[in-house]
Amino acid sequence: MKKESILFTKTLKEQIYDYLREEIHKQNLKPGSVINMDATSRELGISKTPLRDALLQMEMEGFVTIANRRGVYVNTLNPDDIKELYQVIGALEHAALVNGFPNIKAAHITKMKRLIDDMKKSLEDDDFKQFYKKNLEFHDTYIHLSENNSLIKIINTMKKRLYEFPPQEKWLKEWEEASMLEHEKIVRLIEEGKSREAADFIRDVHWSFSVQEKFIRRYYFDNKVSNNENPDEIEREDSRLLRSI
């Protein structure tokens, strides 16, 4: 392939998959746009077979739609899609924490506290990529303790879809600040041995679409709110949530 940034230790299909995902993440391939297979194969210097295989994987993961005779379309991400993703991720992380709770050691709690400190530092440094990385590491700490590879794979795939669509390095710092307070509460509950309360909080607050909707709409949809939402009410609710955690 002609793109120097692609790792040659991976299979050709994996290289193409990573390249297309990065193009979506960078908004070079925008939601609703068409992926021209002829042009893409020429640009990358490859045949259509590995490109088609990569696109089939991306369709299974929800990134694109392959429409026979009409082309390949980059999927949009609307509020209903995000609501469904939040419901499933919340349920699976709930299960992961409950199942993996007996495996949590003091070292894991120490690691999660350190990652929260790292996220705070990333916010201060205005370093989106580092914050994103540490946020995933925080959740992976207890998710991987479930020792359920199928669950881990589904969560990772869904998070890729959630996090690849917004413009790269986009901040909504009020959301990140609220998220860190939620992380701190999760750690407190785990440290107190309250596995069910911690798991419920992850599902019913941290991954609750209704709780996070005000942030979701501002982050993904350029501050647009639904017809029954008042921006002043949203601001007051944001402050109430921060105080209550």
What confidence score (pLDDT) does residue 81 get? 93
Higher pLDDT, 226 or 97: 97
Within 13 A of 109's CA, how many CA atoms are on the CB side?
15
Q: Mean pLDDT, the chain, as a whole number?
A: 87
- Asked if residue 16 has pLDDT above 70, the reply is yes
C-alpha–C-alpha distance, residues 243 and 3, integer Å: 49
* Alpha carbon distance 79, 210 (integer Å): 11
User: How much is the pLDDT for 9?
Assistant: 74
169 against 82, higher pLDDT:
82
pLDDT tier at 161, thresholds 50, 70, 90 = confident
CATH code given to domain 12-74 = 1.10.10.10
Task: Quote the pLDDT of residue 172.
Answer: 86
C-alpha–C-alpha distance, residues 63 and 201, integer Å: 29
Quick one: pLDDT at residue 171?
A: 77
Residue whose token pair is 């999660």: 112
* C-beta of residue 100 within 8 angstroms of C-beta of residue 59: no
What's the angle, vertex CA 73, arms to CA 70 and CA 78, rounded to 5?
A: 135
Collect all residues with Cβ–Cβ distance below 8 Å to 146 and sequence separation of at least 6: 95, 96, 97, 99, 100, 152
The distance in angstroms from the start CA to the end CA of the chain is: 50
pLDDT score for 200: 98
130 confidence band (pLDDT: 50, 70, 90): very high
Q: What percent of the chain has pLDDT over 90?
A: 68
Other Cβ atoms closer than 10 A to 7: 8
Count of beta carbons in the 10 Å neighbourhood of residue 163: 12
Domain with CATH 1.10.10.10 in the chain: 12-74
pLDDT score recorded for residue 169: 59
CA distance 225 to 165: 19
Contact between 128 and 25 under an 8 Å Cβ cutoff? The reply is no
If pLDDT is split at 50, 70 and 90, which confidence band does 168 have? low
CA 25 centroid distance within chain? 12
Q: Is the pLDDT of residue 56 over 80?
A: yes
Residues 127 and 135 sit within 8 Å (Cβ to Cβ): no
Task: Determine the topology of domain 79-244 in CATH.
Answer: Four Helix Bundle (Hemerythrin (Met), subunit A) (1.20.120)
Alpha carbon of residue 208 to chain centroid? 14
User: CATH 1.20.120.530 in the chain, residues?
Assistant: 79-244
- Site of tokens 């959301």: 175
Distances from the Cα of 28 to the Cα of 45, 87, 163, angstroms: 19, 29, 15
